[in-house]
Amino acid sequence: MITFSHLNKTFYSRAGKVEALKDVSLTIEKGDIFGVIGFSGAGKSTLLRMANLLERPDSGTVTVDGKELTGMSERQLIPIRRRIGMVFQQFHLLESRTVAQNIEIPMVLAGMEASERAARREELLKFVGLGDKAEVYAGRLSGGQKQRVGIARALALSPSLLLCDEATSALDPKTTEDILALLKKINRELGVTILLITHQMQVVQRICSRVAVMEQGRIAEQGTVLEVFGSPREEITKSFVRSIIQDEVPGSIQAIIRADGRGGRIEKLKFVGNTVNEPVIAEIARQEGIEVNILCASVQEMQDSVMCVFLVRLLGSETAISKTEALIDRMGVLRTEVQPA
């Protein structure tokens, strides 16, 4: 549905030259919730703004629903942009106007009749859970309520694509969860494709089906959330995984291991998708001459699946440990030996 093909964008400012996008290619399928994750300055906003050509690439093409936008004039882009909603981190509401007036702005600009606007507005307010707030001034709302208004406004003209620019970054964790649930509902019930950018791993983990990891203007990795975060290849992806999953032996446990002098081997076992159902630990424990101690474990839900990481210590003879490692590998569990510090 959206294809970014070989996009390049360089900014020149007094601070110098910045290559914000370097040969970026991505396809976002209809119905996806696609996340682009990266640290500040990675080029995420620049990429998002290409989806409706708020920013034009120096080279490369942007195609939305089969139409190549890059060759279009500003005038030709008007009807296309109407089918693309946008949600912002700082909401961008008119604070001295009511919720109803804010939501109606795109409808007024599109020339809709007052009665039609009112009907659509009521429908949207109900959908986003603000049925009783139509006449409240936007400036008086909480952050989460403001974002709901921002989302209702973005949905006003029934877009097929919603662009979310760090939509939850200004919100507390509970409100973030509520807004993510609303985005998911929009995707599921209204069939709206969502492209979001974020630096928060939780956002991708909670609602995205696919993800691209961006670093210094390039796409470092992309794929399903489970593929990318289940078996990260690049260091940047690994650092995002570490933000939600404990995969290093905590210092206090390392101290205990050093002090007891029993040696053995520490292994990181990662269970993704189906391997979660396998009785791996039980099988290991049944190995002759092996004692298995679980040092720590963490479980994270990823979309409709789970990812578990266990740090275990295998105690036994060198032969018994090697046999056990071979068994773990046969069971399809991702295993990495961890060197204690």
Instruction: Give the separation between CA 286 and CA 240, rounded to whole angstroms.
Output: 35
Q: In this complex, which beta carbon is closest to ligand ATP, that of residue 21 or of residue 269? A: 21
Selected binder of ligand ATP within 11, 72, 170, 323 (CB under 6 A): 11
In angstroms, what is the minimal distance from the CB of 109 to ligand ATP?
25
How many residues in the shown chain lie near ligand ATP by CB under 6 A?
Answer: 12
In angstroms, what is the minimal distance from the CB of 85 to ligand ATP?
19
In angstroms, what is the minimal distance from the CB of 64 to ligand ATP?
19
Give the footprint of ligand ATP on residues 110-149 (CB under 6 A): none
Instruction: Give the separation between CA 240 and CA 341, rounded to whole angstroms.
Output: 22
In angstroms, what is the minimal distance from the CB of 280 to ligand ATP?
39
Strand positions, DSSP E, 199-304: 210-215, 218-224, 265-272, 291-302
Contacts of 241 (CB under 8 A, 6+ apart): 201, 229, 232, 247
Give which of 257, 253, 273, 274 is closest to 265, Cα–Cα: 257
Asked if 172 and 137 touch (Cβ cutoff 8 Å), the reply is: no
Q: In this complex, which beta carbon is closest to ligand ATP, that of residue 18 or of residue 157? A: 18
The Cβ-side half-sphere exposure at 71, using a 13 Å CA radius, reads 4
Q: Dihedral through CA 106, CA 112, CA 114, CA 120, nearest 10?
A: -70
Q: Indicate whether 236 belongs to the interface with ligand ATP (CB under 6 A).
A: no
Q: In this complex, which beta carbon is closest to ligand ATP, that of residue 28 or of residue 226? A: 28
Tell me the sheet residues that pair with 299. 308
Selected binder of ligand ATP within 1, 5, 8, 18 (CB under 6 A): 18
Q: Indicate whether 284 belongs to the interface with ligand ATP (CB under 6 A).
A: no
Could you tell me how many residues make up the chain?
A: 341
In angstroms, what is the minimal distance from the CB of 215 to ligand ATP?
9
Give the footprint of ligand ATP on residues 28-87 (CB under 6 A): 38, 40-46
Where on the chain is the footprint of ligand ATP (CB under 6 A)? 11, 13, 18, 20, 38, 40-46
